Chains A and B, each alone.
Chain A
């Protein structure tokens, strides 16, 4: 095995603190929904669309493209991991509460769906990007890591290779994503108890090594799916809006406390 990467830089592991506020690029998208007219982008030839200087999502504006939802803050989340680990199914389970049993096609390229969550009284819009998992598509998709606020990194507990590849994914993420991107490791398909080849402890161990929050999920049963996205939304919302006096949201603790253990793994 190649030497492990250092624990996630700037990630809220409890050991490391976030970079000073304001320096955090992803948090910059958390624009309060004041609905005040924003100055047009300087140098922009087109007067119409108003884009924040960082090119990130603009909240509070009803738009067909955004599903017509109102929201207070918006974040970009990306799903990554090997081909066939269940990224699209996880997203559809979260978005529509349904499981795509044999009715979905391989994701080619990149796609996204929006969902607005209520997080402690605030409307948080997650724009969730689904990517092709096959290795050669990484060179097409990693351009989009750059402005992702959070990444959900998935492996399939019934596929050892997808677990072994997590390290390669982390290297890729470290190279292309923001240094303080919120990152979570998910072991999916835990409903397939018979076919499981990656033990829960292995996932936990790997996550600990890199200082990542970790959960096992099932897009089929829904286990921990909403929780994973809610946790991400809470963390991102807190990062963007936290008053100095407020206690910091502890993503690791939250995930540990709220995460349900698949019935097969209970002692």
Chain B
């Protein structure tokens, strides 16, 4: 078959809407996706069997070396909510606080919080059929509740743009409002540094940490950034705030989150470093600030990020060693530097 025919044939076979309700983008490469998926399906099937055996007879998922190895190879969609709930501690929190979520929703009203959340309702996944106003049930209401409850629960954070996308994914995976709330709490309250609080200090800190890691591991890229006076926030703030939602393909994001819930925030650095390292030569072609921005957008597209299984293997090999001790040390020094700057 000619490439054009092949593309059309793939287009006819692959559904226009993905399993999560997202419409595939205009420029979606159906042929490449189909080719990837035929291999990935084999892996998914194998993993599904392994996971079913692992989880057989146990009600909860506890962290262990086996679980870690399994999670790195991908959690099947049917078990994802349960695994995320287990390894992140969200399940334990939910069990310890029965009725808490519903009490939050009945709490005292907060007009500015409600308004801030409402402003983003129509702007969260308009490309997902389950978030459309016409959808039944419409997930907008669920999303609104989760964000509102979280704003009441963590008043130091309230609502920060970006949390809408994260909560949206949690709802799509758990299909459960209360579980989504506790997973959001696990991420915002425990796993991530203070990315979303009004000063966004944790975000600024981690952007600087990434800069330092790049300086050590990929000095040519660091020199390019320095030479053009590009601040890391310009190219990576969305990576951190949205945890790669709407930046990388859905399946890839979910595979990253599998590890994020289990291993913590250093996974974000692994992903970022892998993206940059893989495309180092391409990035170094940039000759202006605009070029650099453009390249950093480009490197989040294409087959390298679509092929999520290989991508996940790469994030654990490509960046080399990345100990939590190193991350903690860098975080401390970057935070101190930021605080000194005021």
Q: Point out residues on A near B: beta carbons under 8 Å.
A: 41, 44-46, 48-51, 55, 57-58, 61, 63-66, 83-84, 102-110, 112, 114, 127, 132, 134-137, 139-140, 143-144, 161
Taking a contact as CB atoms closer than 8 A, the residue among A65, A110, A134, A140 that contacts B290 in the complex is: A65
Check if A112 sits within 8 Å of B290, measured CB to CB: yes
**B54 in contact (CB, < 8 A):** no
Q: Which residues of A contact B68 (CB under 8 A)?
A: none
Of residues 115 through 158 on chain B, the ones whose CB sits less than 8 Å from some CB of chain A are: 115-116, 119-120, 122-127
Q: Which residues of A contact B200 (CB under 8 A)?
A: 136-137, 139-140
Min CB gap B198→A, angstroms = 5
Check if B290 sits within 8 Å of A46, measured CB to CB: no
Q: Which residues of B contact A143 (CB under 8 A)?
A: 231, 233
Check if A65 sits within 8 Å of B241, measured CB to CB: no
Check if B291 sits within 8 Å of A66, measured CB to CB: yes
- Report the nearest A residue to B123, measured CB to CB: A106
Q: A102 and B126 in contact (CB under 8 A), knowing A55-B229, A63-B291, A65-B291? A: yes
Check if B204 sits within 8 Å of A65, measured CB to CB: no
Check if A144 sits within 8 Å of B234, measured CB to CB: yes
Check if B224 sits within 8 Å of A46, measured CB to CB: yes
Docked complex Cα distance between A106 and B238 (Å): 11
Check if A105 sits within 8 Å of B287, measured CB to CB: no
B223, B238, B242, B292 — most chain A CB neighbours (10 Å) = B238
Check if B290 sits within 8 Å of A63, measured CB to CB: yes
**B228 in contact (CB, < 8 A):** yes
A41, A108, A127 — most chain B CB neighbours (10 Å) = A108
Interchain Cβ contacts under 8 Å between A and B, 11 examples: A48-B287, A49-B227, A61-B288, A63-B291, A64-B294, A66-B291, A83-B119, A106-B120, A136-B197, A139-B200, A140-B233
**B104 in contact (CB, < 8 A):** no
Enumerate the 10 nearest inter-chain pairs by beta-carbon distance, A residue then B residue, closest first. A65-B291, A109-B237, A65-B294, A84-B119, A49-B287, A106-B123, A136-B198, A65-B290, A109-B238, A55-B229
Docked complex Cα distance between A263 and B58 (Å): 68
Q: Which residues of B contact A57 (CB under 8 A)?
A: 288-290
What total count of A-B pairs have CB within 8 Å? 117
Check if A109 sits within 8 Å of B223, measured CB to CB: no
Q: Which residues of B contact A132 (CB under 8 A)?
A: 161
**B330 in contact (CB, < 8 A):** no
Q: Told that A106-B161, A106-B164, A136-B160 touch, could you supply 14 new A-B pairs with CB distance under 8 A? A: A49-B287, A51-B229, A58-B287, A61-B288, A65-B287, A66-B290, A83-B119, A103-B127, A108-B237, A114-B290, A139-B200, A139-B204, A143-B233, A144-B234
**B80 in contact (CB, < 8 A):** no
Min CB gap A95→B, angstroms = 14
Check if B223 sits within 8 Å of A45, measured CB to CB: yes
With an 8 Å Cβ cutoff, the count of chain B residues facing the other chain is 46
Docked complex Cα distance between A135 and B94 (Å): 32
Interface string of B246-259 (1 = CB under 8 A from A): 10000000000000
Docked complex Cα distance between A59 and B251 (Å): 40
Check if B287 sits within 8 Å of A140, measured CB to CB: no
Q: Which residues of A contact B193 (CB under 8 A)?
A: none
Q: Which residues of B contact A65 (CB under 8 A)?
A: 286-288, 290-295
Docked complex Cα distance between A102 and B134 (Å): 12
Q: Which residues of A contact B231 (CB under 8 A)?
A: 143
Check if A105 sits within 8 Å of B246, measured CB to CB: yes
- Report the nearest B residue to A112, measured CB to CB: B293
Taking a contact as CB atoms closer than 8 A, the residue among A46, A102, A134, A135 that contacts B227 in the complex is: A46
Q: Which residues of B contact A64 (CB under 8 A)?
A: 291, 294
Check if B227 sits within 8 Å of A127, measured CB to CB: no
- Report the nearest A residue to B231, measured CB to CB: A143
**B199 in contact (CB, < 8 A):** yes
Q: Which residues of B contact A55 (CB under 8 A)?
A: 228-229, 289
Q: Which residues of A contact B199 (CB under 8 A)?
A: 136, 139
Check if A110 sits within 8 Å of B237, measured CB to CB: yes
Docked complex Cα distance between A108 and B165 (Å): 10
Taking a contact as CB atoms closer than 8 A, the residue among A63, A107, A109, A127 that contacts B233 in the complex is: A109
Q: Which residues of A contact B286 (CB under 8 A)?
A: 49, 65
Interface string of B12-44 (1 = CB under 8 A from A): 000000000000000000000000000000000
**B264 in contact (CB, < 8 A):** no
Docked complex Cα distance between A48 and B196 (Å): 38
Docked complex Cα distance between A137 and B160 (Å): 9
**B87 in contact (CB, < 8 A):** no
Min CB gap A169→B, angstroms = 17
**B210 in contact (CB, < 8 A):** no
Docked complex Cα distance between A161 and B241 (Å): 26
Docked complex Cα distance between A16 and B104 (Å): 54
**B268 in contact (CB, < 8 A):** no
Min CB gap B182→A, angstroms = 23
Q: Which residues of B contact A102 (CB under 8 A)?
A: 122, 126
Min CB gap A59→B, angstroms = 10
**B203 in contact (CB, < 8 A):** yes
Check if A58 sits within 8 Å of B293, measured CB to CB: no
Q: Which residues of A contact B189 (CB under 8 A)?
A: none
- Report the nearest A residue to B197, measured CB to CB: A136
